Amino acid sequence: MLLTLEGLDGSGKTTAWEALRPAYPEATFTREPTDSWYGDAVYRSIAKEDADPLAELFLYIADHADHLSRVIRPALADGDLVISDRYTDSRYAYQAAMLADADLARPLEYIRGVHGAFTREPDATIYLDVDPETAAARAGATDKYERTAFLAEVQSNYERLIDAEPERFVRVDAGRSPEAVIDAVEDAVARLVDAHRDGDRD
Ligand SMILES: Nc1ncnc2c1ncn2[C@@H]1O[C@H](COP(=O)(O)OP(=O)(O)OP(=O)(O)O)[C@@H](O)[C@H]1O
Ligand SMILES: Cc1cn([C@H]2C[C@H](O)[C@@H](COP(=O)(O)O)O2)c(=O)[nH]c1=O
């Protein structure tokens, strides 16, 4: 089963992802951008204010392709539970916002289309829902993504993704204390894993 955590910068994904580890010692915990050299290239681009957004998109896609073949597909083939801190929805939400002014008619649909040919869709996605101001403040506003106005665009793209596939997403109110958010994520993951296991038995 492939479970992903999504949300704005500072929504608390990594905090929740780390908190899940003890309950699922056999699971594969992974993330995007990855810690490979493809992921390093992505982080170099993130640090460049004037990076070309289309070139940046394809760095993320290269990192995702490597992540799929090296980590995700082998773990799923072994029957592992895979929990990824960010995955394809981050690309659809963030890079569609980055490409909003580019010469592309429908950036979100374009990015989904490129992935459609090769990706593995998540079985379920937990969306940590926090307002853009709180997100930017928590994240520290250290790079070009961690700005309130940009994160508001990203948030509206996430909402479009949720509207399109409401059955895949579990929304968690991430404006609460870390303890409350972690409890809600742990409950959601336990329910999703049980439901998936029951489904496998049918
Ligand atoms: N519910 C919360 N309330 C207040 N602060 C929080 C909460 N959750 C996380 N934080 C703090 O906000 C910062 C960002 O948290 P975290 O790294 O978990 O978020 P993230 O969604 O993974 O962000 P990014 O996508 O930028 O990596 C950290 O300093 C963390 O301690
Ligand atoms: C996977 C992915 C990530 N991003 C952005 C979102 C964050 O600002 C940075 C780094 O991620 P981290 O979780 O803070 O380490 O990358 C993105 O724009 N598109 C993506 O596909």
Q: What is the pLDDT of residues 90-138, one digit of tens each?
A: 999 999 999 999 889 999 999 999 999 999 999 999 999 999 999 999 9
pLDDT at 201: 56
Q: How much is the ipTM here? A: 0.98
Give pLDDT tens digits for 170-191: 999 999 999 999 999 999 999 9
Based on the structure, what is the number of domains in the chain? 1
Ligand 1 centroid – CA 178 distance (Å): 8
- Is 13 annotated as contributing to ligand binding? yes
- Say what percent of the chain tops pLDDT 90: 94
Please give the residue range of the domain that contains residue 115: 2-201
CA distance 190 to 185: 9
Q: Is 136 in the pocket of ligand 1 (CB under 6 A)?
A: no
> What separation in Å is there between the alpha carbon of 198 and the centre of ligand 2?
33
pTM given for the model: 0.97
Q: In this structure, which ligand is nearest to the CA of 153?
A: 2
Q: Which tens digit of pLDDT belongs to each residue from 32-49?
A: 999 999 999 999 999 999
39: annotated binding-site residue? Answer: no
CATH number reported for the structural domain that contains residue 55 in this entry: 3.40.50.300
